[in-house]
């Protein structure tokens, strides 16, 4: 068994990690730490997990309880992983794998953190040591990786939809537009004026454009300059990314879908659908459903991807990366089937 811990286990991604790890045959969750709920049992905070972790309690964040673990998932807010990772990797006793779910180690240029996060990176010397944790693109680099930066939910959906066409030189990289809608859980567990029920129910709104913090992450992987507009949808989970770009090579819809099938052949969590992807179809799963269309009238490609933002967009993908890093089957312990109805 692989001894495992979660820091930041009281938020949505931490709770989702606990749910998914409960069914994993190899990762054994031993330690959960958080800034809040120290001393509380998991079941008292999240009754949905009461029967799975009857004896597990939240602990305050302390390095000495983490240093002997084989695998550590960090589900902390952006900006809080930098110091913790820096301290851990400096310990002689630390020999494990860290999978960070925040944005703290996703960008390669330290200056990008000052521009997009308005704060200097305090552990920039570690940026080059992190592997970007999108298995469908970086599977080989993840094998035996020790430091992994799990992608954001919006970048995961957008990159999966666009990368195969970028790789084939099909698209004008300066023409890309990403419209993506996310469920409210993407905003985290802390309620605010935007996300409480009376505001979000029966509403659909754009936000964060054109300065959303996931923009440079998508740019970096695609080596492109995108226009990104996220939207808040009145649902708990799910992301649908609809991506548009001018084509520099001729292609029809049938060829576009076939290109996706060829590119993702062998990727156990990617399904290429002939129809249109639905967020309901991937609910609760680590799957990504993709499709594409060519608008021959305008010469533009439309590529779409649906994921569960808390699973393939966060916690499930983090476990997928850890599976690969430890030499475990990539799909071990992770659901492929969505919950329906």
Q: Is residue 239 scored above 70 in pLDDT?
A: yes
For Cα atoms 333, 338, 341, give the angle at the middle one, nearest 5 degrees: 145
Query: Is residue 198 pLDDT above 70, yes or no?
Result: no
Question: Residue 94's pLDDT is what?
Answer: 86
Taking residue 248's Cβ as centre, other Cβ atoms within 10 Å add up to 12
DSSP, res 340: -
CA 308 to chain centre: 9
Please compute the mean of the pLDDT values over residues 321-341 and round it to a whole number. Answer: 96
**Enzyme catalytic residues:** 153
Question: What pLDDT does residue 205 have?
Answer: 87
Residues near 105 by beta carbon (within 8 Å), at least 6 away in sequence: 81, 82, 85, 126, 127, 130, 147, 149
Q: What is the mean pLDDT of residues 132-155?
A: 97
Higher pLDDT, 159 or 55: 159
- Largest separation between any pair of C-alpha atoms in the chain: 62
For 278, the token pair is: 């639905």
Domain spanning 2-129: which CATH class is it, in words?
alpha beta
Reported as a pLDDT band with limits 50, 70 and 90, residue 186 is low
Using the predicted structure, report yes or no on whether residue 200 has a pLDDT greater than 80: no
Position 311 scores a pLDDT of 98
**In whole angstroms, what separates CA 87 from the centre of its chain?**
24
C-beta neighbour count of 177 within 10 angstroms: 14
Query: Where do the H-state alpha helices sit in the chain?
Result: 12-21, 42-45, 81-89, 110-116, 135-142, 153-167, 197-200, 215-222, 253-263, 279-282, 316-325
Residue 2: strand pairing partners:
27
What does the angle CA 128 – CA 131 – CA 132 come to, to the nearest 5 degrees?
115
Model confidence at 193, pLDDT cuts 50, 70, 90, reads low
Q: What is the pLDDT of residue 35?
A: 85
Mean pLDDT for the stretch of residues 250-254: 96
Mean pLDDT confidence for 141-164? 97
Domains of the chain: which residue ranges?
2-129, 153-309
Q: Is the pLDDT of residue 189 over 60?
A: no
Q: What is the CATH number of domain 153-309?
A: 3.30.360.10
- Segment 156-164 shows an average pLDDT of 98
Alpha-carbon span 288 to 280, nearest angstrom: 11
Average pLDDT over residues 103-113: 96
pTM, entire model? 0.95
Average confidence score pLDDT of the chain: 93
What are the DSSP E strand ranges found in the chain? 2-7, 27-33, 71-74, 97-100, 131-132, 147-149, 177-182, 205-206, 227-232, 239-246, 270-272, 288-295, 300-307
Query: Which carries the bigger pLDDT value, residue 91 or residue 165?
Result: 165
In the predicted model, is pLDDT for residue 78 greater than 60?
Answer: yes
CB 212 within 8 A of CB 150: no
Least Cα distance to 312 among 144, 172, 186 occurs for 186
At residue 211, the pLDDT reads 87
Quick one: average pLDDT of 201-212?
A: 84
**Taking residues 231-259, what's their average pLDDT?**
96
Residue 138 binned pLDDT confidence (cut-offs 50, 70, 90):
very high
In 3D space, the residue among 243, 250, 197, 192 whose CA is nearest the CA of residue 222 turns out to be 243
Interior/surface letters 198-213, b for 16+ CB within 10 angstroms, e for the rest: ebbeeeeeeeeeeebb
Measured CA to CA, the distance from residue 155 to residue 136 in angstroms comes to: 13
Residue 77: HSE in the Cβ half-sphere, 13 Å Cα cutoff:
9
Nearest alpha carbon to residue 218 among 178, 184, 270:
178
* Cα radius of gyration rounded to whole Å, the chain: 20
Q: Which of 76-90, 174-188, 191-205, 284-298 has the highest mean pLDDT?
A: 284-298
What percentage of the chain has pLDDT greater than the value 70?
96
Q: How confident is the model at residue 38 (pLDDT cuts 50, 70, 90)?
A: confident
């Amino acid at each position: 068994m692989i001894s495992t811990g979660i820091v930041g286990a009281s938020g949505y991604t931490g709770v989702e990690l606990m749910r998914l790890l409960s069914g994993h045959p190899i990762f054994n969750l031993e330690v959960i730490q958080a800034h809040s709920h120290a001393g509380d049992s998991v079941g008292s905070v999240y009754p949905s997990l009461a029967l799975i972790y009857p004896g597990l309690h939240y602990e305050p964040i302390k390095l000495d309880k983490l240093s002997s673990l084989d695998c550590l998932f960090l589900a902390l807010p952006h900006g809080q992983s930098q110091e913790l990772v820096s301290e851990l990797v400096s310990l002689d006793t630390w020999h494990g794998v860290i999978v960070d779910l925040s944005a703290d180690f996703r960008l390669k240029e330290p200056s990008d953190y000052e521009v997009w996060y308005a704060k200097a990176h305090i552990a920039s010397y570690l940026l080059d040591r992190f592997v970007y944790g999108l298995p469908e693109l970086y599977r080989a680099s993840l094998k035996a990786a020790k430091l992994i930066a799990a992608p954001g939910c919006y970048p995961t959906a957008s990159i999966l939809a666009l990368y195969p066409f970028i790789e084939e030189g099909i698209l004008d990289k300066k023409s890309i537009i990403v419209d993506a809608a996310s469920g409210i859980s993407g905003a985290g567990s802390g309620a605010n004026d935007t996300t409480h029920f009376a505001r979000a129910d029966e509403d659909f709104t754009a936000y964060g454009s054109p300065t959303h913090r996931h923009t440079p992450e998508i740019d970096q992987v695609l080596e492109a300059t995108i226009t990104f507009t996220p939207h808040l949808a009145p649902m708990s989970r799910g992301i649908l990314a609809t991506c548009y770009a001018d084509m520099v090579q001729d292609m029809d819809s049938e060829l576009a879908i076939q290109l996706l099938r060829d590119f993702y052949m062998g990727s156990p969590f990617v399904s290429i659908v002939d129809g249109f992807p639905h967020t309901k179809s991937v609910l609760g799963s680590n799957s990504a459903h993709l499709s594409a269309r060519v608008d021959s009238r305008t010469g533009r490609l439309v590529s779409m991807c649906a994921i569960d933002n808390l699973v393939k967009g966060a916690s499930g993908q983090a476990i997928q990366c850890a599976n690969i890093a430890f030499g475990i089957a990539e799909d071990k312990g992770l659901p492929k089937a969505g919950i329906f109805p």
